[in-house]
Amino acid sequence: MLCRAVNGPATWPAFCSLQVIPLAKECLGPPRQGSNSVRTFSRPSPLPTLLAAALAALTLCGPATAQEATDWAKGRLLVMSRAGLSADDLDKAVKPHGGKARRIGNSDLHIVDLPAHASETAVQAQLKHHPHLKFAELDRKVSAAMAVNDPYTGSAWHLNKIGAPTAWDSSQGLGVTIAILDSGVSATHADLAANLVPGWNFIDNNNNTADVHGHGTAVAGAAAAATNNAVGVAAVAGRAKIMPVRIADANAYAYWSTVAQGLTWAADNGARVANISYVGVAGSLSVQNAAQYMKNKGGLVVVCAGNNNIAETIAPTTTMIPVSATDSNDAKSSFSSWGNFVALSAPGTGIWTTTRAGGYGAWNGTSFASPIVAGAAALAMAANPALTGSQVEALLYSSSVDLGAAGRDAVYGHGRLNVAAAVAAALATPAPDTTAPTIGIINPLASASVSGVVPVDVQASDNVGVTKVELRVNGSLVATDTSAPFAFSWNSATVSNGMKSLVATAYDAAGNSKASTALSVNVANAVVADTTPPVVTISNPVAGSRVLGNVQITLAASDNAGAAGITQKLYIDGTLKATGTGSSLSYTWNTRKVATGTHTLRAEARDAAGNTSSVTVSVSN
């Protein structure tokens, strides 16, 4: 990205990163496709001197304009259904708008495809108030925001700042996979190839995760470039695996839907940490729920705060770790956004990392503060594999260096990352959590009369975090919800009318559980009149057959309301011969006592609602 000093934001894609270009002073827009605007070196160079010159000549540029930030995908929305809502009932909710829903992984998140003529904003405005949907949102467009012998390690000031060499004595990330949700990762880079594991491409829906832009390779290198391999740079978690998950096009634009799909897939395929260096993802309810999905599996999601150099209005969330950027003096990087949503800060100025062309370059941006934290999370997880994601998150916060206002603040969050202290704390973490969650059903009210599809709301909390809540009616499992607010849709028509008992059970990551006090409600669905007659057949003898001697006549009947209410009758030549209840009736007919000729057998069935049917066969003797 070429830059000039201006009194307002630049108007090109807003990664959480800025590429350092020595002596560039004019903002000419984004680099041409296929170009490499990062200063690279093929052999050791006087990097600190060059970097200082580059930074001195460079005025950092801002992210996308407000207009660009409001872009969304045409023809689709993101919705989250209440747990237990059937596919048919979800279809009923979106069908009036011409929509068709498709589930994201095993979660309750869905992408709703709309017809060409539909207004995304109008449909979203209606669906967000639907009683059986947790939310509906536009699919927003986002853009990319131990001693070692690696040659460029001396220029990686951030590693000493966060205490990485000390942490490496105990952990280097072995056994942990970090998913890099980005533009892809170069599989041929000497500092990345050995650490790569298979990923997925959600733009083309295939396994080609080659980097189509360059941003993803740089982010991956900041998190987990191979360490102590006598090549290039060192990263925080040099022995962690890198899972490339492509969520962006060749211009490095992604959507909330591709991010949510990528997170869910990564969680289901073994990643314990995910990094998303894209602006604004922390403000998406869909991405937050996908992040919670990963957290429920023991993982963590780290995202960048953005490069707007303003106080963002994004609300705080516990589903992910938003990271602001700092410089070598522990001050906020000049480009970094801040706000109450920021949970942690980390170095993001002049970060030497890998480039798509196979070399190395210095990058600026919260795009690189974020993967540095992701790498730190991997070190803590590798140091103590028994820790949950929530426990690792808490350790990262408690071990950070408090900067700015005392305690958590809007600029640095809980503080600047200190990976040495975090790993030490992970190694010293005591016995697992034994405290059970608290839980209660808050809607419907006790003794309420309910019918149809019933919204059930549950309030649950835990000292570490609730991972799932199950709802049971009279002991039968209705559904499981894995993200707060815990909300269910129960189809009361699946049970008979009368008083029914609802119980919700909450579970935490340590396996502790607690059931709510049973809540009784009165199911009062309208009784629909039964107008369907039973079905009756004569299986023996068959029509047109010749009978001799004693003949076993066999009847069978069925009904939509069950066989228990069926009454069957058998007539021979108009005379009632046998009566019975249930699904079968048998009668032995002595044909020797009747005249020779043709005879008529007639079976009748009557159900509890009074509906009748009959069948007749003729035989001869």
pLDDT in tens, 135-173: 999 999 988 763 344 455 557 789 999 988 999 989 999
pLDDT exceeds 80 at position 7: no
Average pLDDT over the chain, rounded to whole?
Answer: 86
The continuous run of DSSP H or E covering 125 comes out as helix 120-127
* Token duo for residue 70: 């409001």
pLDDT in tens, 320-378: 999 999 999 999 999 999 999 999 999 999 999 999 999 998 899 999 999 999 999 99
* Token duo for residue 412: 């640095």
Q: In what order do the strands lie in the sheet with 351-354?
A: 18-19, 360-364, 351-354
pLDDT at 232: 83
Kindly state the average pLDDT of the residues 74-90: 94
Count of beta carbons in the 10 Å neighbourhood of residue 406: 7
Please give the Cα distance from 252 to 326 (Å, whole number): 24
β-strand pairing of 519-523 with 584-590:
unpaired
Kindly state the average pLDDT of the residues 558-584: 92
The answer to whether 496 touches 523, Cβ cutoff 8 Å, is: yes
The answer to whether 228 touches 150, Cβ cutoff 8 Å, is: yes
Q: Is 367 a catalytic residue?
A: yes
pLDDT exceeds 50 at position 566: yes
Kindly state the average pLDDT of the residues 394-406: 95
Let me know how long the chain is.
Answer: 621
Kindly state the average pLDDT of the residues 240-258: 95
User: 489: which strand partners?
Assistant: 455
The continuous run of DSSP H or E covering 87 comes out as helix 87-94
Residue (of 41, 294, 336) closest to 177 by Cα position: 294
Give the range among 21-25, 435-439, 505-509 with minimum mean pLDDT: 21-25
Beta strands in 310-452 (DSSP E): 321-326, 344-347, 351-354, 360-364, 438-443, 449-450
Please give the Cα distance from 80 to 135 (Å, whole number): 6
Q: Is 45 a catalytic residue?
A: no
Kindly state the average pLDDT of the residues 32-44: 33
Residue 62 pLDDT class (50, 70, 90 cuts): very low
Q: What is the dihedral of CA 172, 176, 180, 184, to 10 degrees?
A: 90
pLDDT in tens, 547-558: 999 999 999 999
Please give the Cα distance from 412 to 31 (Å, whole number): 31
Q: Is 215 a catalytic residue?
A: yes
The answer to whether 299 touches 273, Cβ cutoff 8 Å, is: yes
Out of 367, 399, 483, 516, the active site residue is 367
pLDDT exceeds 90 at position 230: no
Residue (of 139, 138, 323, 180) closest to 265 by Cα position: 180
* Token duo for residue 52: 């200082």
Q: Looking at per-residue confidence, does 229 or 506 come out higher?
A: 506
Residue 420, Cα to own-chain centre: how many angstroms? Answer: 31
pLDDT in tens, 598-614: 999 999 999 988 999 99
Kindly state the average pLDDT of the residues 182-199: 95
Residue 265 pLDDT class (50, 70, 90 cuts): very high
Q: What is the dihedral of CA 153, 156, 162, 167, to 10 degrees?
A: -10
pLDDT at 17: 56
pLDDT at 15: 54
pLDDT at 157: 87
pLDDT at 28: 25
pLDDT at 154: 54
Out of 139, 150, 182, 559, the active site residue is 182
The answer to whether 302 touches 321, Cβ cutoff 8 Å, is: yes
Out of 110, 132, 215, 414, the active site residue is 215
Q: Is 258 exposed, middle or buried (0-12, 13-18, 19+ CB in 10 A)?
A: buried
User: 466: which strand partners?
Assistant: 508
The answer to whether 458 touches 487, Cβ cutoff 8 Å, is: yes
Residue (of 578, 490, 593, 588) closest to 604 by Cα position: 578
Kindly state the average pLDDT of the residues 98-118: 94
pLDDT at 46: 37
pLDDT at 510: 85
**Residue 530 identity:** D
pLDDT at 563: 84
Please give the Cα distance from 65 to 582 (Å, whole number): 74
Residue 234 pLDDT class (50, 70, 90 cuts): confident
pLDDT at 10: 32
- Alpha-carbon separation of residue 411 from 309, 323, 337, 404, 408 (angstroms): 10, 10, 8, 7, 9
Give the range among 118-127, 138-147, 305-314, 402-411 with minimum mean pLDDT: 138-147
pLDDT at 29: 30
Kindly state the average pLDDT of the residues 567-576: 96
pLDDT at 34: 31
Give 507's Cβ-side CA count (13 Å radius).
Answer: 13
pLDDT at 555: 95
- Alpha-carbon separation of residue 273 from 376, 397, 405, 614 (angstroms): 10, 16, 29, 67
pLDDT exceeds 60 at position 492: yes
Please give the Cα distance from 611 to 533 (Å, whole number): 5
pLDDT at 35: 29
Kindly state the average pLDDT of the residues 431-453: 92
For the chain, give the percent of residues with pLDDT over 90.
76
What lies within 8 Å, CB to CB, of 240 at 6+ separation is 172, 173, 174, 176, 177, 178, 195, 223, 224, 273, 375, 378, 379, 382
Residue with tokens 């059937």: 86
Residue (of 618, 546, 542, 548) closest to 589 by Cα position: 548
* Token duo for residue 527: 């009784």
Kindly state the average pLDDT of the residues 523-545: 92
pLDDT exceeds 80 at position 26: no
Please give the Cα distance from 180 to 217 (Å, whole number): 9
Kindly state the average pLDDT of the residues 286-308: 95
Residue 70 pLDDT class (50, 70, 90 cuts): low
pLDDT exceeds 70 at position 44: no
Q: Which domains are delineated in the chain?
A: 69-142 (3.30.70.80), 145-427 (3.40.50.200), 438-523 (2.60.40.10), 535-620 (2.60.40.10)
